[in-house]
Structure 1
Amino acid sequence: MISEGIGSWAPPPLKSRILVDFSSPNVAKEMHVGHLRSTILGDIIARTLEFTGAEVLRINHIGDWGTQFGMLIQHMSESRPEGLGEEGGSEEDVADLQNLYRAARVRFDSEEDFKMRSQQAVRTLQSGDAQYIAAWKRICAASRKQFRDIYRRLNVELVDRGESFYNPFLAPLVGELKEGGYIEEWQGAQCIFVDNIKVPFMVQKSDGGFGYAATDLAALKYRLTEDKADWILYVTDVGQSQHFQQLFGAARKIGLLTDGECGVKVDHITFGLVLGEDGKRLKTRSGTAVRLADLLDEAKARCRAAIKERWDERGEYISEEDLEDAASAMGYGAVKYADLKNNRMSNYRFSYDEMLHTKGNTAVYLMYAYARLCGILRNTERDVVELAANEKIVLEHEKEVALALQIARFPEAVERTIRELLPNRLCEYLCELSNVVNGFHCECQVIGSEREASRLLLCQATVMVKRACFKLLGISPLNRI
Structure 2
Amino acid sequence: MTLIQDLESRLAAAFQTVLGESVSAPVVAAADLRFGDYQSNAAMALAKQRKTNPRALAEQVIAAVDLGGLGTADIAGPGFINFRISPETYAARAKEQLADPRLGVPEAAEKHTIVVDFSAPNVAKPMHIGHIRSTIIGDSLSRIASFLGHRVIRDNHIGDWGTQFGMVTWAWKQILDEKALLADPLLELLRLYRFANDAKKADEAVAEACRLELVKLQQGDEVNFAIWQRCIELSRAGLDKIYDRLDVSFDHWLGESAYNDALAPLVDHLIAEGIARESDGAVCIFSNGVPEDKAKDPFLVRKDGEWIDFPMIVRKSDGGFNYASTDIATIEFRNKEWNADAAWYVVDHRQSLHFQQLFAVAGRVGLGEMDLRHISFGTILGTDGKPLKTRAGDLPQLADVLDEAVAAARIAVAERSRVDTDEERAELAELIGISAVKFTELSHHRLSDYVFDLEKMLALQGDTAPYLQNSVVRCSSIFRKLEDPVDLAAVNPVFTEEAEIHLARLIARYGEVVPMILDDHRPNLLANYLLELARAYHSFYEACPVLKAEEQVRDSRLVLCSLTSRVLTHGLGLLGIRCPERM
- Compute the TM-score of the two structures, normalised by the length of structure 2: 0.77
Moved more, 462-471 or 192-201: 192-201
**Distance change (3 Å), C-alpha of 1:108 and 1:186:** farther
Is 1:453 equivalent to 2:555 in the alignment? yes
Q: Deviations over 1:153-180 (max 9, x none)?
A: 1111123111111111111211222222
Q: Does residue 97 in structure 1 map to residue 203 in structure 2? A: no
Deviation at 1:30, TM superposition (A): 0.9
From 436, 441, 448, the equivalent of 1:339 is 441
User: Following the alignment from structure 2 to structure 1, what is the Cα–Cα distance between the partners of residues 419 and 284?
Assistant: 67
Q: Which residue of 1 aligns with 2:421?
A: 319
Could you say which residue in structure 2 is the equivalent of 1:206?
317
**Cα offset, 1:119, TM superposition:** 2.8
Partner AA of 2:488 in structure 1: L
CA contact (8 A) 1:170 1:214 kept: yes
Check if 1:468 corresponds to 2:570.
yes
Matches of residues 349-428 of structure 1 in structure 2 within 5 Å? Answer: 349-384=451-486, 386-388=487-489, 390-428=490-528
Task: Tell me which amino acid in the other structure corresponds to 1:4.
Answer: D
Separation in 2, partners of 1:457, 1:360: 26
Deviation at 1:54, TM superposition (A): 0.8
- Render the CA deviation track for 1:417-437: whole Å, top value 9, x for unaligned: 111211111111000001100
Take 1:227 and 1:374, find their aligned partners in 2: how far apart are those partners? Answer: 43
The answer to which of 163-172 and 44-53 deviates more is 163-172
Identify which of 37, 40, 45 aligns with 2:141.
45
Q: Which position in structure 1 is the counterpart of 2:333?
A: 222
1:13–1:52 CA contact under 8 A, matched in 2: no
Q: 1:135 aligns with which of 202, 220, 227?
A: 227
Distance 1:383 1:9, change over 3 A: farther
- Residue of structure 1 in register with 2:48 after alignment: none
Q: How does 1:262-341 map to 2 (within 5 A)?
A: 263-311=369-417, 318-341=420-443
Instruction: Indicate the SS of the match to 1:58.
Output: strand
CA–CA separation in structure 1 for the residues paired with 2:167 and 2:333: 28
Whether the 8 Å contact between 2:103 and 2:510 is mirrored in structure 1 is no
Conserved in 1, the CA contact under 8 Å of 2:104 and 2:508? no
Structure 1: distance between partners of 2:287 and 2:256: 23
User: One-letter code of the match for 1:221?
Assistant: E
- Name the structure 2 match of 1:12: 108
Is 1:167 matched with 2:266?
no
* Cα deviation 1:47-101 (Å, max 9, x = unaligned): 1101101110111011110121122213333x2389xx9xxx9798221211111
Task: Indicate the SS of the match to 1:445.
Answer: coil
Q: Is the 8 A contact 2:263 2:329 kept in 1?
A: yes
Q: How does 1:70-109 map to 2 (within 5 A)?
A: 70-77=166-173, 79-80=174-175, 93-109=185-201
Distance 2:240 2:443 in 1: 25
Give 1:332 shift.
0.3
Question: Aligned AA for 1:80?
Answer: I
Residue aligning to 1:434 = 534
Runs of 4+ in 1 over 4 A off after TM superposition: 89-92
Hey, what does 2:62 align to over in structure 1?
A: none
The whole-number CA distance in structure 1 between the counterparts of 2:571 and 2:144 is: 9
Give the corresponding residue for 1:235: 346
Report deviation, 1:108: 3.8
Name the SS for the 1:279 alignment partner.
Answer: coil
Aligned-pair distance for 1:460?
0.8
Query: Contact 1:91/1:139 (CA < 8 Å) preserved in 2?
Result: no
* Match status 1:253 vs 2:353: no
Identity between Structure 1 and Structure 2 (%): 41
Alpha-carbon distance, 1:321 to partner: 2.4
For 2:154 and 2:220, locate their aligned partners in 1 and report how far apart those are by CA, in whole Å. 28
Inter-partner Cα distance in structure 1 for 2:425 and 2:529: 29
State the distance in 2 between where 1:114 and 1:201 align: 29
What CA RMSD, in Å, does the superposition of the two structures yield over aligned residues?
1.9
- Report Cα offsets for 1:291-327 as digits up to 9, x if no partner: 111111111122122122224xxxx661222212211
Distance in 1 of aligned mates of 2:276 and 2:419: 70
3-state DSSP class of the match of 1:9? Answer: coil
**Aligned mate of 1:55, from 142, 151, 154:** 151
Kindly state the Cα deviation for residue 28 of structure 1 after the two structures are TM-superposed: 1.1
Q: TM-score, normalised by structure 1?
A: 0.92
* Greater alpha carbon shift after TM alignment, 297-306 vs 420-429: 297-306
* 2:579 aligned residue (455, 477, 480): 477
Deviation, structure 1 residue 341: 0.8
* Bigger relative contact order, structure 1 or 2 (CA pairs below 8 A, ≥6 apart): 1
Q: Bigger shift: 283-292 or 431-440?
A: 283-292
Structure 2 segments unaligned to the other structure (5+ residues): 1-96, 289-296, 300-308
Answer with 1 or 2: which has the greater Rg: 2
Q: Which residue of 2 aligns with 1:150?
A: 242
Distance in 2 between residues matched to 1:80 and 1:105, nearest whole Å: 13
